[in-house]
Structure 1
Amino acid sequence: MKKSCKPAMLGRVWAASRRALSLEHSPPHQFACCQWQAGHKPSMYYLTYRWLVFLTVTSIAVASFACQRLPRLYKGPKVELNYFKWFIYFTNWGYLLIALQAALALAVVHRYRNEKSLNISCDDDEIQMPRRQKTPVLCRLYWLAHTVATDLAFVITLVYWTLVHDPRIHEVNALNLLVHGGNSLVMLVELALTAHPVRAAHALYGAGAGLAYGLFSALYWALGGTDRLGLPAIYPTLDWNKPGSAFGFVALCAVVMMFAHGVATCLAAVRARAAARLRPAAHDRLALPAH
């Protein structure tokens, strides 16, 4: 009996883990809606918001790439600026993910705005409840990008201003504030407005992204890559000439990433609970076709 119970228990644990890590969610149209709207079809206000977010974050990303220059206070040897080294920085990885999730969110909203089958009236005496729908690939991609972008934004803001920012080199200008502070602000607004949940187990995706960047930085260093000033470390705190401290920094970032995801999970839960209490009718209608 004991031998047969153990595999069964492991099987249940494995199945529960797979469900927790999956990107399936019902009803899938919640990915296209605002938490505070009435009904289950994307509103015009939310569509306008999605366009504004997409255009804003894309413009900032383009400006960050196009307006590269050596630090105003830099007094080292003359360096020829390589614009493509913009892509080696963790901050820019995070901001590209914010732009990607904004683009995917916009695509999801447009998809469900044009979905005639979602046009269900709540004034009917009987509402035909559709069967549980499989989450479309577009929604899964958006959910994954949104989750990782949120975790990275919080960690990038925290780590940059506590460990990376050097007032002797780094200027505090509008663009710097936008990419190292505005990133977290954008994702906080997203958490306040979006209707889909944040799943606790998805913390592994954000931590995995952080570990992937650590691996990239190690390979980049091993191949002789340098930062935009010609130094061997992309960040002073991520110097693979000192592997012990570099490994420690990557591990610290992964832990902080998990903590950041915990904060995002709590904020999303508070948002959903507040919506259910303040606008119960709108909350119920948004989650209507859930079976």
Structure 2
Amino acid sequence: MKKSCKPAMLGRVWAASRRALSLEHSPPHQFACCQWQAGHKPSLYYLTYRWLVFLTVTSIAVASFACQRLPRLYKGPKVELNYFKWFIYFTNWGYLLIALQAALALAVVHRYRNEKSLNISCDDDEIQMPRRQKTPVLCRMYWLAHTVATDLAFVITLVYWTLVHDPRIHEINALNLLVHGGNSLVMLAELAVTAHPVRAAHALYGAGAGLAYGLFSALYWALGGTDRLGLPAIYPTLDWNKPGSAFGFVALCAVVMMFAHGVATCLAAVRARAAARLRPAAHDRLALPAH
């Protein structure tokens, strides 16, 4: 009897893990709506917000790429600036993800605004109970990008200002503040406005992205890659000439990423509770159908 129970228990654990890690969510139209709006269709105000976020973060990303230059206080050997090395930095990976999630969010909003009907009635007598609607691929892509971008933004801001920033090399200017501080502010605003949940188990996606960057940096170093100043380490704290400290830094970032996701999960839960208290009618309409 005990032997037969163990596989069944493992099966239930596996099924629960798959559900927790899945990107399925009902109702899917929540990905297109603001937490604070009335109704189940994306509002014009939210559409305007989505366009502003997309244009802002895209402009900052383009400016960050186009305005590259050697540090003003750099006094080392002369090096030729390689613009494409912009893509090797974790900060820029994170900002590209913010731009990607903004683009996907905009696409999701336009998709649901263009639908003539979401087949949701507000009259209790007319509400039918259809089968659970499968989450569209576009919504799942947006949810994944939003989750990882949020975790990366918080960690990038924390790690940059505590471990990476060197006043002798890094200038504190508007662009630096936008990509190393504005990134977290954007994602905090997203957490405050969006209606979809943040699932605790999805912390693994952010941690996985951090580990993927660690692997990339190791391969880049092994192939002889250098940073924009010609140094062998992309970041001083991620120097694979010292594998022990590099592994430790990657592991630390993965742990901090999990903690950052926990913070995001709590903030999203607080937002949902606040909306339910302050605008209960709007919250109920937004949540239909939740079966």
Q: Do they superpose with TM above 0.5?
A: yes
Deviation at 1:55, TM superposition (A): 0.3
CA contact (8 A) 1:130 1:289 kept: no
**Equivalent-residue separation in structure 2 for 1:117 and 1:289 (angstroms):** 14
Cα deviations across residues 86-105 of structure 1 (Å, max 9, x unaligned)?
00000000000000000000
Structure 2 contact 120–288 (Cα < 8 Å) conserved: no
Q: Which residues of 2 match residues 195-234 of structure 1 at below 5 A? A: 195-234=195-234
- Kindly provide the CA deviation profile for residues 202-226 of structure 1, in whole angstroms up to 9, marking residues without a partner as x: 0000000000000000000000000
CA shift, 1:117, in A, is: 2.5
- Helix, strand or coil for the counterpart of 1:47? helix
Deviation at 1:36, TM superposition (A): 0.3
Asked if the contact 1:227–1:233 (Cα under 8 Å) also holds between the matched residues in 2, the reply is yes
Provide the TM-score with structure 2 as the length reference. Answer: 0.98
- Cα distance in 1, alignment partners of residues 239 and 62 from structure 2: 28
Residue 124 to residue 202, structure 1, CA distance change in 2 (3 Å)? closer
1:129 positional shift: 4.1
Aligned-pair distance for 1:128?
3.3
CA drift at 1:25: 0.3
Equivalent-residue separation in structure 1 for 2:128 and 2:115 (angstroms): 17
Asked whether the equivalents of residues 104 and 138 of structure 2 are also in contact (C-alpha less than 8 Å), the reply is yes
Question: In the alignment, is the contact (CA less than 8 A) between 1:41 and 1:119 conserved in 2?
Answer: no
Q: Give unpaired runs (5+ residues) of structure 2.
A: none
**CA drift at 1:163:** 0.0
Q: CA deviation at 1:137?
A: 0.4
* CA distance, structure 1, for counterparts of residue 84 and residue 27 of structure 2: 41
Q: What per-residue deviation string (whole Å, max 9, x for no partner) do you get for residues 64-122 of structure 1?
A: 00000000000011110000000000000000000000000000000000112216452
Question: Is the 2:120–2:289 Cα contact (8 Å) retained in structure 1?
Answer: no
Task: Using the TM superposition, give the Cα deviation of residue 288 of structure 1 relative to its aligned residue in structure 2, in angstroms.
Answer: 1.2
Shift of 1:132: 1.4
State whether residues 40 and 285 of structure 1, in contact with CA within 8 Å, keep that contact through their aligned partners in structure 2: yes
- Percent of residue pairs identical: 98
Maintained 8 Å contact 2:81/2:228: yes
> Would you identify which runs of 4 or more consecutive aligned residues in structure 1 move more than 2 Å?
119-131
Provide the secondary structure at the position in 2 that maps to 1:116.
Answer: coil
Runs of 5+ unmatched residues, structure 1: none
> In the comparison of the two structures, how many residue pairs are matched?
291
The Cα RMSD (Å) is 1.0
